[in-house]
Structure 1
Amino acid sequence: MTRPTRLAAVPLHASENNDDLYEYARTHVGSIGLVEITGIPGTILRSDHSAPCSGMVELTLQTSGRCYVRQNGREASLVPGDFAVVDTRLPYQLTFDTRFTCLVVAVPPPLLPVKPCALKSMTALRVPGHDGIGQLAAQFLKNIAQQAAEQDLRNNHELASAVVSIVIAALTHQLDECTGETPDGHRASLLPRVKAYAEARLDDPHLSPADIARAHHISLRYLQKLFEAEGSTVSDWIRRHRLEHCRVDLVDPKNDATSIAIIAARWGFLDSSYFSRIFKSTYGSTPREFRMAR
């Protein structure tokens, strides 16, 4: 086997020596960079003493050949279809033992809805691309790269957000698989935390399902599935609990001097007409009638 050549670690894994490694079809989707790379056997090494790198979180999707990804004490062996992420702000190593091609997706860390500790647990984690969400994610990324090569997507930030969401969903699912936690077990432990988080923020009129999903490092679709299992939606749950708090406040003598509009706003209802309509739909009377019948 050809002895791997050590290559310099530079942004998006491009080498200064085009005989060793060269890049092609560099494109962007919103703030996310995409570059397809081909090369001969070699190693890309970033140590503590390396020159400053791109500061990106980079996903490497193997399309041919084999790649060994090492970071944070883990090693992932990638074959075509598999992918893994590295945080280029920290030491890492990529080794290619054959000629290869890969697609690198570079994401600015602020775009990732994960905390540093969660990101660290996801680096150098192999996501198989032969089935399940890993296969969906890999195919999605390939399609995006093809589209970006054919049209200008530099201002398409919604598509960039979709890329981030499906990557995080695949990594989260694989992390659950590796830790031995079943989907049902994950749901059982996560749902109470989600509800507690939402309950503590019911007074925020701008609270949204997307905010809740981002705070718990899960996709919006997965969040919706958590509530679908209980026959509800995230928005319905928030609205129902806000209404219940308003109902309790309306019958509390301590609030006799507080207007209905202020009570409604206290629990995130800024539109008095809307609040009155859904209150009547839920409890059979308007807030004023409910308070007077106390």
Structure 2
Amino acid sequence: MLVLSQSRSHSTESVSVGGAPDGCGTVQIVRSHDEELRDTTRCRRFGEISVRLVAGGPAELVRPARLIDPGCPGVLRVIRPLAGEALLWQDGRHATVRSPELICLDSSRPFKLVMPQPFRLVEAVVTHRSMGLTPADAARLTARPWCGEQGIAAFTSTLLGGFQRHGDEIETAFDLFGGSIVGLAAALFAERMRSAVAEPDAARQSLMLHIQAYVRERLADPELTPSLVAKRYNVSLRYLQKMFREHGTSPARWIRDERLARCRCELSDPRLEHLPVALIGERAGLYGASHFSRLFRDRYGVTPREFRREKATG
């Protein structure tokens, strides 16, 4: 039974959870999809991904069904314990992970995450859209640990672990770090999807993740087009368009939106304020200052120059 009591001094509810491990008498009720964990000590954002270092505990996080708005886009949280262990319940499964293992949860469905002892962890938070996944797709990923010692999972685990050990260096080069996390997360999810390759939907989703990782690595290439992508993966342009249409977009629009998101991130970075606005666009494959400005304004409601000025004075 879940008993709720609202604390006046903190926005987080205090709850008693039947069956929870000893020492975790209070929990954080996760109200929004992208809500930060209490005791987050460092957070950096790269486009649609956030990487956070959290230390505290013992602690529990609960995402009740009554707080989930099915109309809001969800996020996937890839968790890498650094010290202590994490226990996750979601989608009818339960798993326990310790360093260097990884585990994924989905904010669009109820979950419970428990850290029964003092802990440190790193979490990478990515949107369904950025990974080309629906909540139904993501259900194949949740509460199923990666060992973190071999294959793509080992690379991902090592990179996330570096967010704690090399925080200062990462702060000055987060555009590279964040891009690597996005690519590895896509590859990690694709690898897991391939294990269900007997299901046609899973095979198509695995292909989609590989395609998106390929595109992100080549955003600066002005020759990057849907036709080039289709040829690279030996599928017809019509089939590629069908895959993206299932996610409410088209290949050309998705490539454009990824380029604009990269520009938006770089325009908000004070370390890149010395770069001309037009060069920021070129770094993401958007050539022509007026063309870049028009696309950016259509997407975000302000020109790149206005956006940079707002960030600098905000």
Q: Shorter-chain TM-score category?
A: 0.5 to 0.7
SS of aligned partner of 1:86 = strand
Q: How does 1:116-265 map to 2 (within 5 A)?
A: 116-143=135-162, 149-150=168-169, 151-152=171-172, 156=175, 160-174=178-192, 176=194, 213-214=207-208, 220=214, 235=231
CA contact (8 A) 1:172 1:218 kept: no
Q: Which amino acid aligns with 1:57?
A: L
SS of aligned partner of 1:89 = coil
1:44 to partner: Cα distance: 0.8
The aligned residue for residue 23 of structure 2 is 3
The answer to whether structure 1 residue 14 and structure 2 residue 33 are counterparts is: no
Determine which structure has more spread, i.e. the larger CA radius of gyration: 1
How many residues in Structure 1 have an aligned counterpart in Structure 2?
A: 197
Q: Which has the higher contact order (CA 8 A, sep 6+)?
A: 1
CA contact (8 A) 1:36 1:102 kept: yes
1:174 to partner: Cα distance: 4.0
SS of aligned partner of 2:80 = strand
Q: Unaligned regions of 5+ residues in structure 1, if any?
A: 16-21, 195-210, 222-232, 243-294
- Relative to structure 1, is the Cα distance of residues 147 and 113 closer, same or farther in structure 2, using a 3 angstrom cutoff? farther
SS of aligned partner of 1:110 = helix
TM-score for the superposition, normalised by structure 1: 0.54
SS of aligned partner of 1:49 = helix
Write the distance in 2 (CA, Å) between the matches of 1:82 and 1:45: 21
- Relative to structure 1, is the Cα distance of residues 66 and 238 closer, same or farther in structure 2, using a 3 angstrom cutoff? closer
SS of aligned partner of 2:45 = strand
- Relative to structure 1, is the Cα distance of residues 74 and 149 closer, same or farther in structure 2, using a 3 angstrom cutoff? farther
Question: Which of these residues, 58, 61, 70, is aligned with residue 41 of structure 1?
Answer: 58
SS of aligned partner of 2:161 = helix
Q: Which amino acid aligns with 2:49?
A: I
Q: Unaligned regions of 5+ residues in structure 2, if any?
A: 1-20, 216-228, 238-314
Q: Deviations over 1:75-125 (max 9, x none)?
A: 221111111111112211101121111001111221112343221211122
The answer to whether structure 1 residue 79 and structure 2 residue 73 are counterparts is: no
1:59 to partner: Cα distance: 1.2
Q: Deviations over 1:195-245 (max 9, x none)?
A: xxxxxxxxxxxxxxxx99427778549xxxxxxxxxxx9847859x99xxx
Write the distance in 2 (CA, Å) between the matches of 1:170 and 1:213: 12
CA contact (8 A) 1:39 1:101 kept: yes
- Relative to structure 1, is the Cα distance of residues 46 and 13 closer, same or farther in structure 2, using a 3 angstrom cutoff? same
Q: Deviations over 1:135-178 (max 9, x none)?
A: 11111233356666443557x3x75443223123223334555x
TM-score for the superposition, normalised by structure 2: 0.51
RMSD of the alignment, in Å? 3.9
- Relative to structure 1, is the Cα distance of residues 149 and 71 closer, same or farther in structure 2, using a 3 angstrom cutoff? farther
Identical aligned residues as a percent: 15
Q: Which amino acid aligns with 1:85?
A: C
Q: Deviations over 1:2-42 (max 9, x none)?
A: 52133123344423xxxxxx120121223311111111222
Question: Which of these residues, 118, 122, 126, is aligned with residue 99 of structure 1?
Answer: 118
Write the distance in 1 (CA, Å) between the matches of 2:214 and 2:47: 20
Q: Which moved more, 1:56-65 or 1:113-122?
A: 113-122
CA contact (8 A) 1:71 1:93 kept: yes
Write the distance in 2 (CA, Å) between the matches of 1:33 and 1:217: 22
